[in-house]
Structure 1
Amino acid sequence: MPGRPHLTRVPPARRLGSARSRGVVASAAACLVLAGCSSTPTIEDHDLSAADRAACEALVADLPETLAGEDRVAVEPEGALGAAWGDPAYVLTCGVPEPADYEPTAECNVIAGVGWYVTDDQLADQGEDATPIALSRTPYVEVLVPADYRTLGIDRALAELAPALEEHLAEGLSCL
């Protein structure tokens, strides 16, 4: 028809992936662009003697590639005295200080020969992350156990770590 503009139908843009995966990608992109966040676990460095640093380095080099069924993942900074597995990540940090709330009469849980101190409130609340500290070995090692893994039990991961801790770390505090 004269005088009428010619309209061409343009097909809608194709989107790859499911709506859920597009949302995850968009959320991750927004997180990286807007907030500068990263899912790579960060290991805090602590002031250690040369002997303790050497023990932690040997431990980290000997840690397993999987922990409680989760694959080992990169950590920041590279070369940190720790390791991580899964997402959310179990995060092991070697060379942590003795917990400020630890008392010599406090109980600890012995799992596969290693005594782990966990605060009573963390033991009681399965919905929160837990941070058991291996006080029976030195330098001390802390493992962040995300709440997502709590119902499976903390024991499996800690038992899998025990052989490496016993091989590379000295005797620490005795457990009650």
Structure 2
Amino acid sequence: MSYRLIVGLGNPGSEYEATRHNIGFRVVDALALKLGADSWKKDRKFKAELSSVSHPSYGKLILAKPTTFMNQSGVCVQKLCSFHKIPPEEVIVIYDEINLSVGELKLSMAGSAGGHNGLSDILARIAPRFARIRVGIGGKPHKEMPLADYVLGKFSSDDESVISDSLARYVNSIDLLLSHGADLAMNQINRKRKNDDSNSI
């Protein structure tokens, strides 16, 4: 299985840049940097910021950050898949997950949206057979806190340190999926890390 489209989820605008909900943007930014991808450019037709790279091992990859707000993330994905004739099986979506601790990462190939509005919109617009990389942002500090307030808030200084230290490992995990496929990648990515400071898989 080859992958052609990698989408990081988040909200557009500088006020959302460092929020928990925008971790998908941060990861795909880090991936683009490592791969030496083209500079990001806004594309009104696809409602996204786009970058691309022709990789000697993976072929051409399209990287995308939707410029709609989170709950319409599927518009960009649907447009890109339709125009480039990319089947869902060749799509990777990266997004935040409150049911994983900060620093954790999970890869799955199926499942529900789990209350995530961005993923829910994608599932409503394309078939569900795409790879999902969930990046842990930790749970709410107390049940009474509105979910929107939490995901649109910024990481604590301690959590930000964990995220910054983990970005290289997140990118390595995507590289593993691209180079070795879902089965091996899931086995490696989803196992518990024995050393939280490790940046390799």
Instruction: Give the structure, 1 or 2, with the largest relative contact order (CA under 8 Å, sep 6 or more).
Output: 2
Larger radius of gyration: 1
Q: Say yes or no: TM over 0.5.
A: no
Structure number having the greater helix percentage: 2
User: TM-score, normalising length from structure 2?
Assistant: 0.26
User: TM-score, normalising length from structure 1?
Assistant: 0.29
